[in-house]
Amino acid sequence: MAKFSLRVNGKSQTVDAEPEMPLLYALRNDLQLNGPKFGCGLAQCGACTVIIDGNAIRSCVTPVGSVQNKAVTTLEGLGNTKKMHKLQQAFVDEQAVQCGYCINGMIMTSKALLDKNPKPTDTQIKEALSGNLCRCGTHIRILRAVKRASGQING
């Protein structure tokens, strides 16, 4: 066990962990951040996605020891029910959720996309989300929500 200092959602935090423990467990269990979800632990589904230095990263396979002093953003870092990020608001406006277990990954991956490409085409959005699985079949609404957040659908 060792101490690791993390910068999560703009705050400095310390966790006591084995260096190879995936970041996901530190976020969920040590920092009580429930946005990122465990889905597979195999980098196959995207449920655990967080943003590190601007990139959408699978926190289930990222050792906590490798992210020291890097800027980690989780779903909670985007906004909350009182003040939502435009992506979160767009998912509500489009009711782009069924069970919602995948939605953390959808929003975080889209956030990284929109930061680099503010007006993506349908094909670019689908490509960016191709590694994110949704079993409820919410794809049509998720696609619309991302377009809405990028200002390409109104009202």
Nearer to another protein, 52 or 149 (CB): 149
What does the block give as tokens for 92? 């509500």
Residue from 98, 80, 83, 96 nearest 148 by CA: 96
Binder among 52, 57, 107, 134 for ligand FES (CB under 6 A): 134
Stretch that binds ligand FES, among 2-10, 38-46, 79-87, 111-119 (CB under 6 A): 38-46
Which partner, another protein, ligand FES, none, binds residue 48 by CB below 5 to 8 Å per kind? ligand FES
Is 15 a residue that touches another protein (CB under 8 A)? no
Cβ-proximal residues to 50 (8 Å cutoff; 6+ apart), any chain: 23, 27, 36, 56, 57, 59, 72, 73, 74, 108
The piece of 49-57, 65-73, 95-103, 113-121 that touches another protein (CB under 8 A) is 95-103
Q: If binding is defined by CB under 8 A, does position 2 make contact with another protein?
A: no
Q: Please name which of 89, 135, 136, 138 lies closest in space to residue 111, comparing C-alpha atoms.
A: 89
Name the minimum Å distance from CB 40 to another protein: 4
Helix (H) or strand (E) holding 111: helix 103-116
Q: Rule CB under 6 A: is residue 39 a binding residue for ligand FES?
A: yes
DSSP-derived letter for residue 47 is: T
Binding site for ligand FES (CB under 6 A): 38-41, 43-48, 58, 60, 97-102, 134-136, 138
